[in-house]
Each structure stands twice: as C-alpha cells, then as structure tokens.
Amino acid sequence: MSDAEAETAAEAEAQAPAFQPGPAEADIFREFLVALMVHNEAVAARLGLQSADIAAAILLESRGPMPVGAIAEELGLPSASATRVIDRLQKAGYVRRVRSDQDRRAVYVELLPDGMTDYHAAAEISQRHLAEVAAHYSLDQVMVMLDMYRRTTEAYRSATAEVRNGGTAGP
C-alpha cells in the first residue's frame, strides 16, 4: 500500500462512524469472555492449580521477574493471597523467589527455566483449536485482531482500575 493509499484509508477510517455493538454483538463478546474464563479454569484444574496461579505464571512469562507486590497489584489480590499464589507455583515447580542484587530486602519471583512446560503442554489443545480458527483469516486480518486484543486489554485494565477505585457507570 502506497503512502497516498494509506493516507486515504486513514481518512476514510476517521470519517467512518464508530462501531456501536448491538445486543447480538454484546452477547457474542460476553460468550467469548465466559468461554475464556471456563477454559482457563479447566487448564488450571488439569495442572492442580487455580486460575490466579496461571495468571501469575503468564505474567511472569511475558514480563520477566516481578516483585510479589507487583503481581498482587496486577491481579488485584491482597498481598497474603498473592503470597499463597506464589507458594503454590513454587511447590508445583513453576517459580522461585530470588533476592534482588541491588536491595537484598526486595524479593522477586521468577519462572524456573522449564517452569511453563506443563502449562504449555496443557495449552496445546487450545492452540490447536485456535490455529483452526486462524486459518480462516488473512495475515492482515489477524494483525487487526491482535491490535484489537491489545486495545481491549488496555481498556479492561483501565476499567478494572476505575472499578477498584470506586468509579461509577453512566454519564
């Protein structure tokens, strides 16, 4: 796509009315969320863990070592609950606690080298099903969907923070 074509497409997109989901589209999205939550629970149960444990492990895999407090904050857990999450993950062989080289009082949690092996094995089933879905879309369409996932993630993080801080719905 040339720069002129990209500019024309961007202008057309800016002029297009924003998509407003109706009840049917909202139901599809809610069903997606429920299916995702139920699947995560099933994977966690298969591994003898809880969904919060899996969420913490995924955070560590994507972001690298984190302090327990940051994991607690990200997952919206009290510090005692986050400590129990880390205890379960450590007992199951996913993570270890390490002291910071800069501040020996600071404790970080990091994945063990093969810490996610069991998770990835359990997730192979979902990866197979998702590959079948992806086969129906072009690379450009997949890239748009990934952008939507990124933006949706940020929207949910913002909404979660607002809810936790006592925000209210409506104008």
Q: Which domains does the chain have, with CATH numbers?
A: 26-164 (1.10.10.10)
Q: Which of 45, 35, 33 is nearest to 119 (CA)?
A: 45
pLDDT at 70: 95
Instruction: Name which of 70-74, 76-80, 162-166 the model is least confident about.
Output: 162-166
pLDDT at 74: 93
17-26 per-position pLDDT tens digit = 777 777 777 7
Q: Which of 134, 156, 168, 136 is nearest to 29 (CA)?
A: 156
Instruction: Name which of 4-18, 28-42, 152-166 the model is least confident about.
Output: 4-18
- What distance in Å separates the CA atoms of residue 110 and residue 2, rounded to the nearest whole number? 45
Residue type present at position 92? A
120-162 per-position pLDDT tens digit = 998 899 999 999 999 999 999 999 999 999 999 899 989 988 9
Whether 106 shows a pLDDT value over 80: the answer reads: yes
- What distance in Å separates the CA atoms of residue 57 and residue 44, rounded to the nearest whole number? 11
